[in-house]
Structure 1
Amino acid sequence: MKTLYLVVFALLAPLSVQAKQLWQIQAEQGVFASPLAHQDKLYLANGNTLWALDRQGKTLWQQSLSAQARSTPAITNQTLLVHTEQGLQAFNLHGLPLWQHKSSDGPRRVNGESWGWGQGNVIDPWSWYRSSVTLSNGIAYYGSQTGTYAVRVSDGQRLWQQYTGTTHTQPAVSQDVVVVGSWNNHLYGLNAQNGAILWQLESPLPQGELGGWDGWQGFNLNPVISGDYVYVGSRSTWFFKLGLKDGREAWSTKHASSWIGSAAIVHKDHVYYGLSDGLALIGQHRQSGNIEHLVRAPHLIFATPVLVGEQLYFATLSGELFSYQPSSRELTKRYQTQSSQTHYQKHVQQGGGPNYQPLDPSLSVHQASIKQVTEMLEDMDSIVSLSSANGVLYLGLAGGRLLAWQP
């Protein structure tokens, strides 16, 4: 286990909140999944609609989906693939349906008693993301409530299914290994050809006063493969570096009382990821596991950081976008949603972190908790997804806007 050996706080550069917005569109729902940039077009799956846009944000066509989608599309050999709650749908690049592979998906459910919400399984108000598709050698891999699937792209034929519990992470595929994370608190390495389980890792969970809450359980973040290693965090407060072939731990780090908030990005000698209640962007040395960058943030980080040139960009649920230069350790605020500016004092504590509003006494505790989280996201127009292509950043906002932004 690697702990925090070196902490270097970012030097605050003068704040710059002037927006360099290129365009925006209003989608049906919160843009929790980033668009796919392919050649001169963008493809966005949101709600029950698949969009094709040009790089200026003009809608080229729309196609109805059989069910709701919260996934980034994928393209191979002129076939466009989208994972929905009813399975995998294939289209040509003009939006005409080709085939559908059926499976079942939907929101994660949790033990209501564990969360203080009463008996029964209820929807987790923090589990917004779903599995996107990963393509490799003519095969589409994706996860759902019923496990992990491999589907032949040419005709939609199922090649295998492995029950890995509710699997909402995008599979990472390399060297004939498929790595997926599950809400059952296990990370799996699967044989890419037949789905056989090669290895699995169960994350340790907090104990003592923090123990017993099933909110600590779950590999809910997309694993990242770099070379012979897998980098992944979980709700259990742990971040891991594991061997790709055998799942053996190279190093791991525990963060006190904080979910790992975002999936990781590997850049040069470091791996970077965001914390939720830890309110920071973390940079660990890939070889040693030492924490060499700890960049304080005003709020929870759920969107995966992205790299544009030598600048790392990360976003918070407070509706703010930041750039961080690892070499100089300069942190600059680049953008803030208008809703965030309006409601900032209501939802952000003075020292940073969420200022949760009182629960609505007219609702059940679970319903009031969902309303509490939803109100925060909507009032702040939280940035819930982040991606880049050709030097342009795409911000997915909880209010349903997709915003193109020029660094």
Structure 2
Amino acid sequence: MKSLYCLIAMAWLSAFPAQAKLLWQIQTDDGVFASPVVHNGVLYLANGNKLSALNLQGTLLWQHPLSAPARSTPAIAHDMLLLQTEQGLLAFSLTGQLTWQHLSKDGPRLVNGANWGWGKGDYAEPWSWYRSSVTLDKGVAYYGSQTGTYAVRITDGQQLWYQDTGMTHTQPAVSQEIVVVGSWNNHLYGLNAQNGDILWQFESPLPQGELGGWDGWQGFNLNPVISGDYVYVGSRSTWFFKLGLKDGREAWSTKHASSWIGSTALVHNGQVYYGLSDGLALIGQHTQSGNIEHFVRSPHLIFAAPVAIGEQLYFATLSGELFSYLPASGKHQRLYQTQSSQMHYQKHVKPLGGPNYQPLDPKLPIYQASLKQVTELLEDMDSIVSLGTADGVLYLGLTNGRLLAWRPE
């Protein structure tokens, strides 16, 4: 047990500047693609085939094996912990005993190999790492999967309804009796929370011309965020949208040239913030007008959702770096860089910023070579792929399986 969950040598502290404090970090067997949740002084983490509970000093309290992989944040209600896995929704006691399960099927997104230049057949896309987490509201658990969207009663796991929304890897957003989910079929859906009926659906436009025709532009793969009467969400299509919650009508939208919207959005103090992938920036737009009022350059792709502690924003990159940004002053600084990132930075980051992709291995089939190229980047940089916060502490999830607890000072 200690080999999987242990404090790492204090030598790592040298990577942190004076204004940062590393509280602890643990090593797990799988990438930490979803943030943990903290409840009553206990941190719950699901990654790979394990559900773990730790105290806030990073010591393992208990661990439960999972029969199928999980890449989602647990949710807690009624002294129960609910977790979405590739075999469905599981409910545990807060001491890790399985209470009930609701079976469904999930897994990676498969794409047409010929469209991606990999040859005939369907292949798991190497950039679609995230899965739906469960959202709890009024005694009901909502979650997405490979087959669509489900509503399940929290107390006993009884299915209340199902809606075919295609492959749905976004966490449902629920407000005013409406459930909003995004699908890889390039549609955003507003569903009736009571019966799952489709109230509205919105389809994103796609790039045209020389950039057109690639199905990598398709998909609402980012968690929608509801604030008041509006939904804020980006997509693979290079567009970010503000839509009406009740009717799905567009209030405003912004197109970012040749860049996926990389991260789920954060609505904070009248602004909506989100990261770009190839656009190499954290964007802040006025929620009312849609005007871009903050453009914070990034050295690399941003996939982890930004978070806020007080007035300070934090965002992280696939180059293994954590940044702070204070909107009031425009001050922007790097707070942390993984040791592996320091070692391999020149190899994977261009001098003026942006990913420096390594040549494909000519000895491998094209898909395997492409997969190796992405995997090498993530491993060499200790890429940060999830970012969460609770009680003033930041939790950084890395592709190599480490979870760091970090307190800004």
Question: What range is the shorter-chain TM-score in?
Answer: over 0.9
> Counterpart of 1:175?
176
> 1:279 is aligned with what amino acid?
L
Conserved? CA contact 2:234–2:264, under 8 Å? yes
Conserved? CA contact 1:221–1:263, under 8 Å? yes
> Counterpart of 1:117?
118
Conserved? CA contact 1:16–1:332, under 8 Å? no
Of stretches 221-230 and 110-119 in structure 1, the one that deviates more from structure 2 is 110-119
Q: What does the per-residue CA deviation read over 1:232-255, in whole Å, with 9 as the maximum and x for residues that have no partner?
A: 000000000000000010000000
Q: 1:199-214 counterparts in 2 under 5 A?
A: 199-214=200-215
Give the percent of matched residue pairs that are identical in Structure 1 and Structure 2: 77
Cα deviation, residue 120, structure 1: 1.5
Q: What does the per-residue CA deviation read over 1:301-329, in whole Å, with 9 as the maximum and x for residues that have no partner?
A: 00000001110000000000000000000
> Counterpart of 1:318?
319
> Counterpart of 1:134?
135
Q: 1:337-376 counterparts in 2 under 5 A?
A: 337-376=338-377
* Backbone CA RMSD of aligned residues: 1.0
> Counterpart of 1:6?
none
> Counterpart of 2:196?
195
Cα deviation, residue 389, structure 1: 0.5
Uncovered stretches (5+) of structure 1, i.e. residues with no partner = 1-14
CA–CA distance in 1 between the matches of 2:98 and 2:401?
Answer: 25
Q: What does the per-residue CA deviation read over 1:56-89, in whole Å, with 9 as the maximum and x for residues that have no partner?
A: 0100000011200000000000011110000001
Conserved? CA contact 2:16–2:22, under 8 Å? no
> Counterpart of 1:36?
37
CA–CA distance in 1 between the matches of 2:355 and 2:75?
Answer: 34
> 2:407 is aligned with what amino acid?
Q
Uncovered stretches (5+) of structure 2, i.e. residues with no partner = 1-14
Cα deviation, residue 21, structure 1: 1.0
> Counterpart of 1:147?
148
Query: What TM-score do you get using the length of structure 1 for normalisation?
Result: 0.96
Cα deviation, residue 17, structure 1: 4.2
> 2:292 is aligned with what amino acid?
I
CA–CA distance in 1 between the matches of 2:229 and 2:117?
Answer: 42
Cα deviation, residue 28, structure 1: 1.5
CA–CA distance in 1 between the matches of 2:290 and 2:157?
Answer: 41
Q: 1:155-170 counterparts in 2 under 5 A?
A: 155-170=156-171
Q: 1:7-406 counterparts in 2 under 5 A?
A: 17=17, 20-406=21-407
Q: Bigger relative contact order, structure 1 or 2, given CA contacts below 8 A and separation 6+?
A: 1
> 1:318 is aligned with what amino acid?
S
CA–CA distance in 1 between the matches of 2:58 and 2:159?
Answer: 35
CA–CA distance in 1 between the matches of 2:197 and 2:365?
Answer: 43
SS in structure 2 of the partner of residue 271 of structure 1: strand
Conserved? CA contact 2:241–2:253, under 8 Å? yes
Conserved? CA contact 1:359–1:372, under 8 Å? yes
CA–CA distance in 1 between the matches of 2:46 and 2:16?
Answer: 31
> 1:212 is aligned with what amino acid?
G
SS in structure 2 of the partner of residue 20 of structure 1: strand
CA–CA distance in 2 between the matches of 1:281 and 1:148?
Answer: 30
SS in structure 2 of the partner of residue 341 of structure 1: helix
Q: What does the per-residue CA deviation read over 1:23-67, in whole Å, with 9 as the maximum and x for residues that have no partner?
A: 011112110000011120100001110000100010000001120
> 1:208 is aligned with what amino acid?
G
> 1:73 is aligned with what amino acid?
P
Q: What does the per-residue CA deviation read over 1:164-199, in whole Å, with 9 as the maximum and x for residues that have no partner?
A: 010000000000000000000000000001000000
> 2:49 is aligned with what amino acid?
N
> 2:311 is aligned with what amino acid?
E
Conserved? CA contact 1:17–1:336, under 8 Å? no
CA–CA distance in 2 between the matches of 1:39 and 1:372?
Answer: 42
> Counterpart of 2:5?
none
Q: What does the per-residue CA deviation read over 1:220-272, in whole Å, with 9 as the maximum and x for residues that have no partner?
A: 00000000000000000000000000001000000000000000000011000
Of stretches 127-136 and 23-32 in structure 1, the one that deviates more from structure 2 is 23-32
CA–CA distance in 1 between the matches of 2:309 and 2:335?
Answer: 13
> 1:277 is aligned with what amino acid?
D
CA–CA distance in 1 between the matches of 2:83 and 2:36?
Answer: 11
CA–CA distance in 1 between the matches of 2:139 and 2:117?
Answer: 46
CA–CA distance in 1 between the matches of 2:321 and 2:292?
Answer: 24
> Counterpart of 2:12?
none
Q: What does the per-residue CA deviation read over 1:94-144, in whole Å, with 9 as the maximum and x for residues that have no partner?
A: 001101100000000111111101111111000000000000001000000
CA–CA distance in 2 between the matches of 1:81 and 1:253?
Answer: 35
